[in-house]
Amino acid sequence: MKYNKPRGSLDFFDKNIEIYNFILKKFKIFAKLYNFKEIKTPSFEEKDIFIRSIGKSSDIVEKEMFYLFSKNRNKEYKLSLKPEGTASVIRAIIENKLLERSNFLLKLFYIDSMYRYERPQKGRLRQFHQFGVEYLSKKNYYIDAECIILAINFLKFLGIKNFKLHINSLGDLVSRQKYIKILKLILQSKTLCNDCKIRMNLNILRVLDCKKEKINDIPKIIDYINDEEKKYFKNILKILKLNKIDYVIDNKLVRGLDYYTSIVFEIYYNDSNWSKNTLVAGGRYDNLVANLEGKQCDAFGFAGGIERLMLVLKDAKNITNQLDVFIISLSKEAYNVSFTLSLLLRKNNIKTDLNKDFSKTLKQQFKLCDKYNSKYIVIIGDKEIVNKSVILKDNIKKNEKNISIDLISNFIKGELKNDKKI
Ligand code: HAM
């Protein structure tokens, strides 16, 4: 019988597990640099949390939730796998009274698996991983700007260049309602796709970001939001400009999750071959904590898709785990010396491996060094054993020298430290 991985999921091995771990490690460093503390929530939650927060009419709740059946099949399922992180984090914050304990100032980050029953395609999976932050504090445009800049700087730090920040404001509830009335009138006279006909009644703003519709001649939401919100939006744009962050004001950006209020943003990867190209997305959600029956607290956050970053970084060099030292042995006696040296190098935190197969020629042993992408090659033969030395080849600087076997460990340690400084 042949088993395959479930549709829309991935196996991680070889280069892709290294790229995955690289993104994970760097995001942790980055989030801590901005003073975010880590939180981990369960893989499943009560489904109502998502229905109440993301919204009944959202694609996620309507079509994409993975529900879990309890043992007793007659009981209605109450749980669902997590389709996103925000609602789950907010549930944990409320349940554990984290806001009260932190005097209503919380900066949290997470890295987690999410599950959505989608039609799998490039960059769109049923199990995927998100990195994200949630910043809970009194509304302040420096918070929005800090989170957006964190996301942008993280992508730059990974070496990703080809992206664009799209930003919009949904304004406050009153002005949004005003805008929705006008929008309804205008859209009634248009022929819409089947999905948008449903959205007209459930969440009309979502018609704006429908990929099938080309709706151009409609008023911009920005012209309907009140002065305070306009000023708030302008202040964020000013901070972005001041810090040399390019952006596009995108009047059609409304986001597919209902909890957003005010500012929303998405960061797209510019690749025409790839339609599901939002790398990071988020915004302000000032009512969610109260909606989930916590104390009122404003919030801003974002999440990014790790598999999407993996697609972008798949050809990046220097991500894959490099071996520090590979040891080549030229005689039977040398194998013993090499083996003992490998243990000593590992004891000194130097990533080391060695050839153990007597039948391998020198050329074949060099091939192994290439396979492991080793920074240094140590060569030991009978002559070296007599002289108590080794040949050390530096694969990066492309030089070679003889060095006493007693000094080799400290020498490589020093060289690796210098590499890290650069
Ligand atoms: P989202 O836009 O649903 O927002 O997802 C955020 C990111 O997760 C997307 O930009 C994309 O990179 C990745 N992503 C989403 N769906 C998939 C999928 N099926 N396959 C692969 N990657 C995917 C949220 O989830 C919000 N919770 C973001 C947020 C946090 N807003 C405030 N705080």
Give the contacts of 394 (CB within 8 A, at least 6 positions apart). 375, 376, 400, 415
Residue nearest to atom 22 of ligand 1 (CA): 305
Centre of ligand 1 to C-alpha 131, Å, is: 9
Centre of ligand 1 to C-alpha 256, Å, is: 10
Cβ atoms of 82 and 71 within 8 Å: the answer is: no
The neighbouring-strand residues paired with 378 are 327, 392
Confidence grade of residue 337 (pLDDT, cut at 50, 70, 90): very high
109 CB within 6 A, ligand 1: no
Residue scoring higher pLDDT (420 or 278) = 278
Euclidean distance between CA atoms 204 and 252, whole angstroms = 12
Nearest by Cα to 267 from 315, 307, 239, 304: 304
pLDDT tens per residue, range 107-134:
999 999 999 999 999 999 999 999 999 9
307 CB within 6 A, ligand 1: yes
Euclidean distance between CA atoms 34 and 152, whole angstroms = 13
pLDDT tens per residue, range 256-281:
888 999 999 999 998 767 766 899 99
- What are the tokens at 410? 């400290």
Q: How far is CA 281 from CA 14, 294, 375, 422, in A?
A: 29, 24, 38, 33
Q: In the predicted model, what is the mean pLDDT of residues 343-361?
A: 95
The answer, yes or no, to whether residue 72 has pLDDT greater than 80, is no
Nearest by Cα to 247 from 317, 164, 173, 326: 164
Ligand 1 atom at minimum distance from 285 CA = 32
For tokens 């490998």, name the residue: 342
pLDDT value for 397: 86
Centre of ligand 1 to C-alpha 257, Å, is: 10
The answer, yes or no, to whether residue 59 has pLDDT greater than 50, is yes
Euclidean distance between CA atoms 372 and 349, whole angstroms = 17
Give the orientation angle of helix 141-157 with respect to helix 14-33, to 10 degrees: 150
For tokens 């986001």, name the residue: 255
pLDDT value for 419: 67
- What are the tokens at 333? 């006696």
